[in-house]
């Protein structure tokens, strides 16, 4: 998997994203959480998705074709402080429309930085997903920034927060694109649950 990766296009609006007949996965999370980095890591390429030097760089839907059998969508991040309320609300709307209506969407991966405590903005996004009935898988990112001890502590904190709203809590993976960990589990999951599921 992830042998052939082709950039399809960037789309500033949900309504102009072409329809595809193959399953699609998307990556979403706070601006700067490591979406582009994890996409590059998954694809085993240096610059499939542009890694930001300044946060908030991806302000469009970026689509990639993986091996001709999977679409990967990089969504614009949320929570970037320099963006006006109006623009934030427009993007929230665009992404909600995408998540609700995208016919071939098989899985939303929500990225959460495990090197910092649970953030209110992530809780709010997860709450929205609950209300909209959109299931998601959590990808904890930047685990390399913690020692093993800190990582266990932080994971516990995040799980306690999740348990306040979810029973059972969403499935999760712990990753680091900097230290290159978590890829095999993620690829197995995509292979078993997305490509080999009854998608049609
Ligand atoms: P936007 O597109 O701006 O919303 O950001 P993004 O979510 O795509 O994040 P991006 O991949 O551009 O990474 C943001 C910053 O975090 C960059 O400086 C990365 O080098 C850094 N980063 C990403 N992943 C990791 C990781 O696993 N570990 C560490 N230590 N840093 C990371
Ligand atoms: Mg990005």
Give the distance (Å) from ligand 1 centre to CA of residue 58. 12
Determine if ligand 1 sits within 6 Å of the CB of residue 34: yes
Q: How far apart are CA 117 and CA 119, in angstroms?
A: 6
- Taking only the tens place, the pLDDT of each residue in 42-78 is 998 877 777 666 666 667 999 999 999 999 999 999 9
Residue 56 region by backbone torsions, left for phi larger than 0, else alpha for psi between -120 and 50, else beta? left
Average pLDDT over residues 153-178: 97
Per-residue pLDDT, 116: 98
* Closest to 63 (Cα-Cα) out of 11, 22, 2: 11
Give the distance (Å) from ligand 2 centre to CA of residue 167. 31
Determine if ligand 1 sits within 6 Å of the CB of residue 62: no
Determine if ligand 1 sits within 6 Å of the CB of residue 57: yes
3-state helix, strand, coil in the chain (%, to 5): 40, 20, 40
Ligand nearest to the CA of 53: 1
Q: What does the domain layout of the chain look like in residue ranges?
A: 5-195
CB atoms within 10 A of CB 18: 9
**Before 83, cis peptide (omega within 30)?**
no
Angle CA(9)–CA(39)–CA(48) in degrees, nearest 5? 50
Q: Inform me whether the pLDDT recorded for 133 exceeds 60.
A: yes
Confidence of residue 1 (pLDDT cuts 50, 70, 90): confident
Per-residue pLDDT, 27: 97
Residue whose pair of structure tokens reads 């992830």 in the numeric block = 2
Q: Inform me whether the pLDDT recorded for 79 exceeds 70.
A: yes
* Percentage of the chain modeled with pLDDT above 90: 84
Lowest-pLDDT range of 2-16, 106-120, 147-161: 2-16
Per-residue pLDDT, 47: 78
Confidence of residue 196 (pLDDT cuts 50, 70, 90): confident
Three-state secondary-structure class, residue 117: coil
Give the distance (Å) from ligand 1 centre to CA of residue 50. 10
Confidence of residue 199 (pLDDT cuts 50, 70, 90): low
Determine if ligand 1 sits within 6 Å of the CB of residue 116: no
Does domain 5-195 sit in CATH 3.40.50.300?
A: yes
Say what the pTM is: 0.95
Ligand nearest to the CA of 29: 1
């Amino acid at each position: 998997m992830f042998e052939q990766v082709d950039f399809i296009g960037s789309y500033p609006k949900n309504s102009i994203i072409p329809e595809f007949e193959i399953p699609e996965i998307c990556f979403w999370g706070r601006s700067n959480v490591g979406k582009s980095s994890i996409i590059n890591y998954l694809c085993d390429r240096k610059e499939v998705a542009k890694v930001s030097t300044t946060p908030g760089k991806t302000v469009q839907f970026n689509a990639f074709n993986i091996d001709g059998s999977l679409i990967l969508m990089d969504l614009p991040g949320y929570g970037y402080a320099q963006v006006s309320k109006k623009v934030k609300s427009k993007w929230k709307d665009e992404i909600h429309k995408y998540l609700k209506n995208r016919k071939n969407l098989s899985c939303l991966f929500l990225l959460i930085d495990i090197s910092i405590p649970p953030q209110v903005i992530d809780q709010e996004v997860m709450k929205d997903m609950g209300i909209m009935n959109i299931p998601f898988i959590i990808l904890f990112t930047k685990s390399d920034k913690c020692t093993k001890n800190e990582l266990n502590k932080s994971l516990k904190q995040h799980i306690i927060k999740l348990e306040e709203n979810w029973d059972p809590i969403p499935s999760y993976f712990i990753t680091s694109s900097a230290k290159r960990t978590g890829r095999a589990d993620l690829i197995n999951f995509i292979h078993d649950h997305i490509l080999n599921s009854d998608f049609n």
